[in-house]
Amino acid sequence: MDIPGPAPRADGGAGAVAAAGGLHTYQLRLHAEYGPVVRFQLPGAETAVSVADPVLLEATARVDKRPEPLFAFLAPLFETGNLQVMPADEHAPWRRLLLSVLAGRPSHERYFARFTELVTALADRWAGDAGDAGDAGRAGQTGHEPVELQKDLTELSLRMICEYALGGEVTDPGSVVAAFEDVLVEHLGQLYHAPLPGTQEERAERAEKALAYLRARVDRVVAAHRSGDRTDRSDLIGALVEAGERPARIRDTVMVTMLAAHHTTGVAVSWTLHLLGRHPEVAERIAGELDRVLGDRAAPEYGDLRRLTHLEMALKEAMRLYPPGPYGARETPEPLVLGDYEIPAGTTIFYPFWAVHMNPGHWPEPEKFMPERFTPQEVAKRPRLAYIPFGLGPRSCEGAGLAMVKAELILAVLLKRFRFRPAPGHEVTPVERFVLWAADDIRMIVSPRTQG
Ligand code: HEM
């Protein structure tokens, strides 16, 4: 059977996406009109097949290839090639190695105290407790000016992942963070035609210098490891050195980890706070849970996280409504049967994670924020792939476990201490970028919980 979909247009589909108000609304419309499997023109990839049904998605779950052209803009960041598009036989051992660190408890526990310090420093700044030295005299923001959650939380997340990826050995993380931002502005900014500072040449030169600086910093950490120590799998560079990876591949791994980790985790937390600000009854329930589990302590221990079930359900529901990475893609290496359709080899399969999460067949009243959808009983009623914020199959996110630890810790510290309310008159508009971003940030009024 032919796969249904709109008639091709000369502009490669860009006009239809724009007319629908963005790729997400376009996807929702396409699937409502044509069913769970739709052929459409994906700008940048010619024709793609989008699959929004979690049961049909199973048939694609072993595909181990991404379409290279969609990732070409990232190629300049890497020396040995972008790990996101490397061939399956090279990718599989690299993934195992990465998972052995990122998904393991030793690395989560090792960085937990440092992560707690970093989020506490941000909370202090918001509360105006930081004093003059740490904060260049910036006044506290609680109860007064709205806080720009997305900006502050992506910055925090980048700081955390930078320390994690470099093994906590960097004495001046600020300069590593700044260098990484220069690289991102150049390579991601171009993609979205965002207005950028300086001339093209100036920016390219700056990004080139920043990249060289980052690589040199990784080399220093690698050199320290060569003199031999850590084998406990709590440390990413240590594990890569131990496995005999070449330095260029280690540098690339650090880059891809930082790239994949920082915006995603930051926006996961800011969207959660956005939703909690609009659902004070859920925020109250979480605050009560935090009081019960933490008592007088301002921050959880690693072992407390599994007892914060309301907090975790709210985070999961927020990632359903606002998946930080809204789309994924694969390329079929051989023909694939998908329900009634045969998909030829070489087809781009498009994963509309966002539309999958809004599929009314599995999510009644899909636009409503209802964290109780994530009780174990409710989860058991749904197909496995109805909820896929971290993707699926052999190219799914290796950082999922670490991301949940980081996001839950940040939320626990912030919600124990503060109440979040929407800033009056501020409109929050999701836009699809490399991640699901709020166009004009998420501004909220942050006030201490104890003062009501
Ligand atoms: C809430 C936070 C995060 C979300 C929602 C998220 C989501 C995703 C998604 C949707 C993908 C693509 C999956 C697919 O195509 O099936 C991905 C890939 C990836 N993520 Fe994450 N991610 C998060 C945090 C992290 C963190 C903290 C790390 C590392 C420390 C990380 C490392 C990666 C890597 C390396 C890939 C590429 C996978 C591969 O090609 O093998 N992510 N992530």
Tell whether ligand 1 has an atom less than 6 A from the beta carbon of residue 67. Answer: no
- Ligand 1 centroid – CA 262 distance (Å): 10
- Residues 185-205 have pLDDT tens digits of 787 766 656 667 778 888 889
Strand partners, 40: 48
Tell whether ligand 1 has an atom less than 6 A from the beta carbon of residue 320. Answer: no
CA gap 238, 169 in Å, rounded: 12
Which amino acid, residue 138? Answer: R
pLDDT at 119: 98
Higher pLDDT, 390 or 43: 390
Q: Which atom of ligand 1 is nearest to the CA of 85?
A: 40
- Residues 248-288 have pLDDT tens digits of 999 999 999 988 988 999 999 999 999 999 999 999 999 99
Residue 73 has pLDDT above 60, yes or no: yes
Residue closest by Cα to atom 30 of ligand 1:
399
Residue closest by Cα to atom 5 of ligand 1:
324
Q: Mean pLDDT of all residues in the chain?
A: 90
pTM: 0.94
Tell whether ligand 1 has an atom less than 6 A from the beta carbon of residue 397. Answer: yes
Which range, of 229-243, 356-370, 433-447, averages the lowest pLDDT? 229-243
- What value does the mean pLDDT take over residues 71-76? 88
Q: Which atom of ligand 1 is nearest to the CA of 83?
A: 40
- Residues 281-314 have pLDDT tens digits of 999 999 999 999 999 999 999 999 999 999 999 9
CA gap 303, 186 in Å, rounded: 40
Which of 171, 179, 257 has the alpha carbon at shortest distance from 215? 179
Is 31 within 8 Å of 352 (Cβ atoms)? yes
- Residues 320-334 have pLDDT tens digits of 999 999 999 999 999
pLDDT at 46: 77
Tell whether ligand 1 has an atom less than 6 A from the beta carbon of residue 60. Answer: no
Contacts 24+ apart (CB under 8 A), 160-164: 160/111, 160/114, 160/115, 160/118, 160/265, 160/406, 161/257, 161/258, 161/261, 161/262, 161/265, 162/258, 162/262, 163/111, 163/114, 163/118, 164/107, 164/111, 164/236, 164/261, 164/402
Residue closest by Cα to atom 24 of ligand 1:
261
Q: Domains (ranges, CATH) in the chain? A: 66-328+368-448 (1.10.630.10)
Residue 56 has pLDDT above 90, yes or no: yes
**Segment (H or E) for 115:** helix 105-127
Tell whether ligand 1 has an atom less than 6 A from the beta carbon of residue 102. Answer: yes
- Residues 103-147 have pLDDT tens digits of 999 999 999 999 999 999 999 999 985 443 334 334 456 557 899
User: What is the Cα 209 distance to its own chain's centre?
Assistant: 26
Q: Give the total residue count for the chain.
A: 452
CA gap 307, 22 in Å, rounded: 39
- What value does the mean pLDDT take over residues 217-237? 78
Counting Cα atoms < 13 Å in the Cβ hemisphere of 239 gives 24
Is 63 within 8 Å of 240 (Cβ atoms)? no
CA gap 155, 269 in Å, rounded: 12
- Ligand 1 centroid – CA 339 distance (Å): 28
Residue closest by Cα to atom 43 of ligand 1:
397
| Burial of 104 from C-beta contacts in 10 A (0-12 / 13-18 / 19+) | middle
Tell whether ligand 1 has an atom less than 6 A from the beta carbon of residue 318. Answer: no
Residue closest by Cα to atom 1 of ligand 1:
265
For ligand 1, mutation pick of 74, 312, 397, 435 (most atoms within 8 Å of CB): 397
Residue closest by Cα to atom 16 of ligand 1:
391
For ligand 1, mutation pick of 78, 351, 390, 436 (most atoms within 8 Å of CB): 390
